[in-house]
């Protein structure tokens, strides 16, 4: 037995690819999260005044921070995918599967 014939699909890489696909699928909803509540409050909208302005500023700050974190999520997952070999030994694959079940 030599070379790639003894190798199997890398379970960790497979899990990372699935994670990336799932994130991409949810990204639109996540990017729009808090957008409507933020737009509805402050500056003569459904709720106005100093408290509304403070709330609006706070929610917009949180939304921007969340979007920044989301923006770095896909590249981080892709970097891990790029590091993971496509094929590994059966023994390594078994250990990875056990680790992924935790």
| Nearest to 87, CA basis, from 18, 17, 19, 5 | 5
Span 44-71, average pLDDT: 85
- pTM metric for this prediction: 0.71
Is the Cα dihedral 54, 62, 64, 33 positive or negative?
Answer: negative
Is the Cα dihedral 93, 95, 101, 102 positive or negative?
Answer: negative
pLDDT over 70 percentage in the chain: 92
Angle (CA) 76 26 68, round 5°: 45
At 2 the pLDDT is: 52
Which band of pLDDT confidence, cut at 50, 70 and 90, is reported for residue 10? Answer: very high
At 93 the pLDDT is: 96
């Amino acid at each position: 037995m030599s070379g790639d014939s003894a190798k199997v699909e890398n379970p960790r890489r497979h899990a990372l690819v699935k994670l990336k696909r799932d994130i991409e699928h949810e990204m639109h909803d996540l990017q729009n999260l808090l957008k409507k509540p933020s737009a509805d409050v402050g500056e003569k909208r459904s709720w106005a005044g100093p408290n509304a302005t403070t709330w609006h500023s706070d929610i917009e700050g949180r939304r921007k921070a969340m979007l920044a974190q989301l923006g770095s999520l896909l590249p981080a997952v892709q970097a891990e995918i790029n590091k993971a070999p496509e094929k590994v030994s059966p023994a390594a694959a078994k250990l990875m599967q056990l680790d992924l079940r935790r």
